[in-house]
Amino acid sequence: MAGLTYYRNILPRGILGTMLKNVATVLLEGVHPFELGVICEVFGLDRSDEGLPTYDFAVVSAEGPALRTHAGFGLSVSCDMDRLEEADLIAVPAGDSYVERDFPPHLLAALNRAVERGATVLSVCSGVFVLAAAGLLDNRSCAAHWRHAEALGRRFPQVKVEQDVLYVDEGGVITSAGTAAGIDACLHLVRKVQGSAVANGIARRMVVPPHREGGQAQYVDRPLPRAQSDTVTGVLSWMERHLDREVTVEELAARAHMSPRTFARRFQQETGTTPYRWLLGQRVLLARELLEGTDHTIDAVALRAGFGNAATMRHHFTRWTGTTPQAYRRTFADR
């Protein structure tokens, strides 16, 4: 699991030149309104008054100009499939009966052409079945809603289904689990291509967390309520405030009033990763924000973000993002 990009917010080679201006979401009969709304909210609103980018956004139908939603009301869609040929991003929201239905061959062909020319395709929840039917997930890992994971694996055995993660980024193909995970995946893509400042600005307008690691668990079974002292929430807040400190699992467990073994297990359940990897990810995230929004030296950024020195930061930053701190700053610095 450690090699997958749901843990490492990786910038694949060449991503620094990727465009994210032209966005299209493609609909099928029975589309789910909420998942469609997620895509429209992230990419379809004009936020230029806050200095955020405006996307050339379109809603496209693959099955005629009039569609019915899963909720029962109708949609009138004016854009046809030709609009997909120029999109930098094609997003596929969830829909009714996607688990077992067939999909229009012309849509599957269009998605393949998009990936071949370097565009990104992104699915939300059961939209992953469309990407799998197009062959885009063959021998690739993908995220799926926990209710659909088994069915996806049976129908497309060549797909590597990760059923307990929020989203998976496989370069030009991004898949996400249910509803809110679609927001996470969209913001992940914005952050990857346009930087932390843009992703944080959109998240602030939407009043959602600006970043959740893709490897975080989709849900945690909690048959009984827990007292506040019996969670890792307070420890996470403390860790965020002290990224520059070296801490041990034993120290964190003591803060949570748990044994180290119980704390490590609970932390994995609630965050989808280990304390060390969570801390490292937060340090990389802070370093990205400092590289974008300040003129601090690389050494100063390394100290502030908790890496200690520039060499250590370069090592971890490059492994997590696929580029060096200097190259990242040149591309995303707020000028």
Domain boundaries, the chain: 15-206, 228-271, 276-332
Query: Beta-carbon neighbour count of residue 274 at 10 Å?
Result: 15
3-state SS, residue 203: helix
CATH class, 15-206 region? alpha beta
Residues 276-332: name the CATH superfamily. Homeodomain-like (1.10.10.60)
Give Cβ neighbours of residue 229 (< 8 Å, ≥ 6 apart). Answer: 256, 257
Read off the tokens for 99.
């688990």
Average pLDDT estimate for 140-169: 93
Closest of 150, 154, 147, 191 to residue 169, by C-alpha? 191
Q: Which two tokens stand for residue 275?
A: 């304390």
pLDDT of residue 31: 97
Asked if 217 contacts 269 with a C-beta cutoff of 8 angstroms, the reply is yes
Second CATH level (architecture) for the domain 228-271: Orthogonal Bundle (1.10)
The tokens of 274 are what? 């280990």
Instruction: Let me know if the fold of 228-271 is the same as that of 276-332.
Output: yes
pLDDT one-digit tens code per residue, 157-191: 999 998 778 899 998 999 999 888 999 999 999 99
pLDDT of residue 212: 65
Predicted confidence (pLDDT) per residue in 259-316, tens digit = 999 999 988 887 778 899 889 989 998 999 899 889 999 999 999 999 999 999 999 9
Q: Please state the rounded mean pLDDT for residues 253-263.
A: 92
Instruction: List the structure tokens of 148.
Output: 């659909």
> 């599957």: which residue's tokens?
108
